[in-house]
Amino acid sequence: MQFTRLRLTGFKSFVDPTELRIEPGLTGVVGPNGCGKSNLVEALRWVMGENSARSMRGSGMDDVIFAGTDRRPARNLAEVSLVVENPDRTLPGAFDDEDRLEITRRIERDQGSSYRINGRDVRAKDVQLLFADAATGAHSPAMVSQGRVGALISAKPRDRRAILEEAAGISGLHSRRREAEQKLKATEANLLRLQDSLSRLE
């Protein structure tokens, strides 16, 4: 999986549509303090399904929407798209036959987020699982933000285990297991109800 493009509109300080090409190899982002370097990394994490407003340095998720300046009014929506190449078709799951994926997350003020993959509406969970399976999720060690190295060193064993599982690309399995267990419980409840109805008919 290779990230090749990042498009932002109305996201934090990126009020105007902005597109960044991410070439193979090392990419550096340079600029004066406060120009938006961290906002770019946050945009990456956000489009991968980050659901903690705090880790986006906000008090609510709407804080990622351009809040306005003296000269420009605030916006009511933000959108970030990430294009990833999958030439070897190594992406696991439902998208393994696509050469290129465009993952889009959009948020409207007071309306919450919606997600699309190649134009199709998907759940937040589908996006989170896609990146978790590819070991590049919003919480993966592939995303190292300021202060994260110290936090990794002092992490509790349980939290460190979660980091290792994310790196190994197996963290999506926990979520799938929970989903399967819930389905199983619902099916067992249905079976009981069916048996009950059958015994009343006999």
Strand order in the sheet with 100-108: 18-21, 2-9, 77-85, 100-108, 112-117, 120-122
Nearer to ligand ATP, 11 or 115 (CB): 11
Nearer to ligand ATP, 39 or 136 (CB): 39
Binding residues with ligand ATP: total (CB under 6 A): 14
Nearer to ligand ATP, 20 or 173 (CB): 20
Q: How far is the CB of 110 from ligand ATP (least distance, A)?
A: 15
Nearer to ligand ATP, 74 or 168 (CB): 74
Nearer to ligand ATP, 60 or 93 (CB): 60
Distance between CA 180 and CA 182 in Å, rounded? 5
Distance between CA 86 and CA 123 in Å, rounded? 21
Q: How far is the CB of 67 from ligand ATP (least distance, A)?
A: 4
CA-based nearest residue to 47, from 89, 83, 86? 83
CA angle 63, 41, 75 (to 5 degrees): 30
To the question of whether residue 33 is assigned a binding role by annotation, the answer is yes
Tell me which residues in 31-70 interact with ligand ATP (CB under 6 A).
31, 33-39, 63, 65-67
Binding mask 1-30 for ligand ATP (x = CB under 6 A): -----------xx-----------------
Q: How far is the CB of 128 from ligand ATP (least distance, A)?
A: 23
CA-based nearest residue to 165, from 174, 154, 156, 176? 174
To the question of whether residue 34 is assigned a binding role by annotation, the answer is yes
Annotated binding residues for ATP, written as ranges, equal: 32-39
Contact residues for ligand ATP (CB under 6 A)? 12-13, 31, 33-39, 63, 65-67
